[in-house]
Structure 1
Amino acid sequence: MQIVKHPIQLKSEELTLTNQRAIYWQRERALILSDVHIGKTAHFRKYGIPMPKTILEQDLERLMGLIEHFNAKKLLIVGDLFHAGSNTDLTVFEEWKAKSKDLKVVLIKGNHDRISKSVIERFQLELHAPELVIEPFTFIHDKGENSSSFQISGHTHPGVTIEGKGKQRIKLPCYQITESELILPAFSLFTGLNTKNAPEDCDCYAFTETGIFKV
């Protein structure tokens, strides 16, 4: 896995965008990500659609690589850590988490995070709903309206269409940034891309396996 980094300044804070669908915040020693959707592949398998377990395992392997690269002590997950309640994928996550016992996991509840108190205790999650404020940012899964603070959200799985010669097109995941918000890409590779309805006057930072670039 190649980790490509692009530092940006937001509200006098330095954040590091990565091409691995997460941001590092040095002040908090935290990785910021959204839409992991643990349980999605097991949910599909339950209904007869053959989805390999390796999809989740690859996502978690990428996440561990980021934790080790930055020596992160905290995960700030901006919603949809889980996808569809309890299923066999939770065991995969439990085994992964056991490798990082000192890692603090903070979850800002998303629309898919329909989880019981026992699940919260099982994974020792610090749960916040509907938002968490760590100045100068407000973390919320689905951006709110008319907020006076800078919001960091997820939920929409943002992407951008790049047009090349001969009417060739490629869709890439991206970070969307305006003067008042930052929308994270979905961390899980098993998600679609929403290339429509971008905020007005936003800068899009698209990325590939080898680079990050402003569109």
Structure 2
Amino acid sequence: MTISCNGEELILCRERAIYWTAQKTLIISDLHIGKAAHFRKHGIQVPSSIGHDDLQRLSKLIALYDPQTLLITGDMFHDKINSDVALFSDWRKEFGTLKILLIKGNHDKLAVSNYRSLDIELVQKELISAPFRFIHDQPELSGQPYYTISGHIHPGVTVYGKARQRLNFPCFYFGENHAILPAFSAFTGLSRIHPQKNDRFYAITPSGIVAL
């Protein structure tokens, strides 16, 4: 689904990403590479295919849009170096010309040298690319001249059916002054956002993006 935001064309992707057409930039949040391996290390049985499947989805988006830049608004990694990070290292070699920008999230705890070795440019707090400001956590908006796009929250929305069915879906949230991206990783929970007047929600359903 293509929408207009602050005069810019943004494509909302069913694979939980935004493609910013004018800047040839693919934008995702909360990839959480290494989360499954982290859980397995602590004795919780999580399928090892989760990290691989997330990277395969990302590969398909890159093949579709051919972006110059992959921008990740935090929590690209879940903890420290583990087998899933090694998997990403192999994946990275397939896309050597792709610029990767990471706005550091609360889970991004790798050493600076690790980011360098993976050819990732680390942004400590925020990235300004007019008319947008990209950050990880929920923003402070007072006096902010740019429209803010963030992650971290893992936004979700509940859709009610005619027979009292209730289904929860990840979503894109667009408020008056800021937007929140869905978590890219399939291995994340959902947080409901209480809507304000004129807020826009775009649910990610099995059949596609649905404006609510």
TM > 0.5: yes
Residue 199 of structure 1: CA displacement?
5.5
Is 1:94 aligned to residue 94 of structure 2?
A: no
Instruction: Indicate which of 71, 76, 80 corresponds to 1:81.
Output: 76
Taking structure 1 as the reference length, what is the TM-score of the superposition?
A: 0.94
Q: How does 1:131-150 map to 2 (within 5 A)?
A: 131-145=126-140, 146=142, 147-150=144-147
- Aligned residue-pair number: 210
Aligned to 1:166: 163
SS at match of 1:35: coil
- Stretches of 4+ aligned residues off by more than 6 angstroms: none
Aligned to 1:23: 18
Q: Deviations over 1:41-82 (max 9, x none)?
A: 010000111112210101000000000001112100000000
Residue 117 of structure 1: CA displacement?
1.3
SS at match of 1:166: coil
Residue 200 of structure 1: CA displacement?
5.5
* Structure-2 change in CA distance of 1:116 and 1:176 (3 Å): same
SS at match of 1:28: coil
On the 8 A contact 1:14/1:25 being kept in 2, the answer is yes
Gaps of 5+ in 2: none
Give the distance between the partners of 2:106 and 2:196, measured in 1 at CA: 21
Q: Which amino acid aligns with 2:2?
A: P
Moved more, 38-47 or 190-199: 190-199
SS at match of 2:114: helix
The percent of aligned pairs where both chains have the same amino acid is 46
Q: Which amino acid aligns with 2:52?
A: E
Is 1:153 aligned to residue 157 of structure 2?
A: no
Aligned to 1:178: 175
Give the distance between the partners of 1:201 and 1:93, measured in 2 at CA: 39
Aligned to 2:106: 111
On the 8 A contact 1:176/1:198 being kept in 2, the answer is no
Give the distance between the partners of 1:183 and 1:134, measured in 2 at CA: 16
Give the distance between the partners of 1:133 and 1:199, measured in 2 at CA: 26
Taking structure 2 as the reference length, what is the TM-score of the superposition?
A: 0.95
Q: Which amino acid aligns with 1:37?
A: H
* Structure-2 change in CA distance of 1:152 and 1:199 (3 Å): farther
SS at match of 2:9: strand
Aligned to 1:120: 115
Q: Deviations over 1:102-138 (max 9, x none)?
A: 1110001111111211111111111112100011100
Gaps of 5+ in 1: 1-5
